[in-house]
Amino acid sequence: MAVNYYDVTKSVFEWHRRNARLDIDDLPKGIKKHVEAVESGEKDKLTYKQIRKIAERYSVFTHWLIMDKPPDDAELYKVPIQDFRTGVETNIDGRDFSAEAIQLIKSLNAKMSWAKAALEDDEQEPLEFVGLFNLEESNPEEVAVQIVNDFGIEGTEKTKELKAKIEAKGVFVWGDKLSISEVRGFAVADSIAPYIYYNTGDHHNSQKFTLVHELAHILIGVDGISNNIDNIQPQNTKSVENFCNKVAAIVLMPKAKVEGWEGFGSAKEVKDLAKELGVSNIAMLIRLYTMGRINTVLFRSHKETFEREYREYKKNPPKAKERKDRGNYYATKQAKDSRGFNTMVYRSYAEHSVSLRDAFALVGVKKNSGWDKLGLKYK
């Protein structure tokens, strides 16, 4: 079978390698020779497979490497989601994001664009809970009650169970690992195909808080990338992030449970309650403080301690425990992918409304056996 070659450009290859902060010597031998050949002007054509492997190493889309000229920074890094990470609610161009983060955001947006089009073809009605509340006229308690009642969330669920409950109502939930200091979660509040991303590199208790926080974004109809999750600022009750943090706190740390707490305020007691409720230490501390269960002196002391411990956690996260499914591509995909999305793609393929090739590309499988390994069946 003939091998197809694609034109490649020296300036484009150099731009992407430098943007990925890589030297030629940092590259694996298998792709290093091809990059050297292109950047030296020795080659101006590569196979798709060769280009794809280089793109994977640079954490960019394959088609970015076959452009005629280096991309315009503003267009390449355009991220169509509001940035709430710094407390300044503004649109961003994404130039302070890593290549991995940009690729993830754009990849998920592309997949969800397909999902929305498919749902609209099926005449899917807008989901009533998207934008049901608003920041000006609603309060966090109302939104929290809606989440508990409509989504059946009790607050005691593990991350996997919480994700399943949210997806059961029509919200697509994706998990993947990025730098915790860069982004912990984001939400797109589309009325037809809303979706949430949460950082699986974060502590498992923080992942739960992120999921409910981002769900609150959807209920108030506000897209956003978040990082300052857990850190409630009582004096700024109308900021989007603070509002969503309060919603998550109410859902995951019920008022009755906090009021019934018999602790005296030691750091260990706060940590024990946080562990019992499955939330982070800092989120638990802030909830106790805002409900008057701990004084200002202890709050400030514990907050400093917990924040220092979390900074250390981010710098040196514990090694993952050895598991039977460790290294299993399909087990990992099931854990991080949106089950609702993969099921929709498989159903579309089974009903002949999407080609096998496109279905493979959307889900990330290469053989028909992949459907079974992902537990997907046509119903």
Other beta carbons within 10 angstroms of residue 210's beta carbon come to 29
Q: Is the pLDDT of residue 373 over 90?
A: no
pTM for the predicted model, two decimal places = 0.77
Q: d(Cα 109, Cα 117) in Å, to the nearest integer?
A: 12
Question: Averaged over 150-175, what is the pLDDT?
Answer: 94
Contact criterion met (CB below 8 Å) for 274 and 237: no
Q: d(Cα 169, Cα 68) in Å, to the nearest integer?
A: 44
Q: d(Cα 40, Cα 89) in Å, to the nearest integer?
A: 44
pLDDT, tens only, 282-333: 999 999 999 999 999 999 999 999 989 888 877 777 665 544 545 577 888 8
Q: d(Cα 292, Cα 282) in Å, to the nearest integer?
A: 15
Element spanning 197, H or E: strand 195-199
Question: Averaged over 18-28, what is the pLDDT?
Answer: 84
pLDDT, tens only, 83-124: 554 444 444 444 557 777 877 887 888 889 899 999 999 898
What local confidence, expressed as pLDDT, does residue 1 receive? 54
* CA-based nearest residue to 175, from 193, 213, 157, 201: 201
Q: What are the residues whose beta carbons fall under 8 Å from the beta carbon of 107, sequence distance 6 or more?
A: 61
Q: For the chain, give the mean pLDDT.
A: 84
Q: Is the pLDDT of residue 237 over 50?
A: no
What local confidence, expressed as pLDDT, does residue 93 receive? 45
Helices of type H across 153-203:
159-168
Q: Is the pLDDT of residue 371 over 90?
A: no
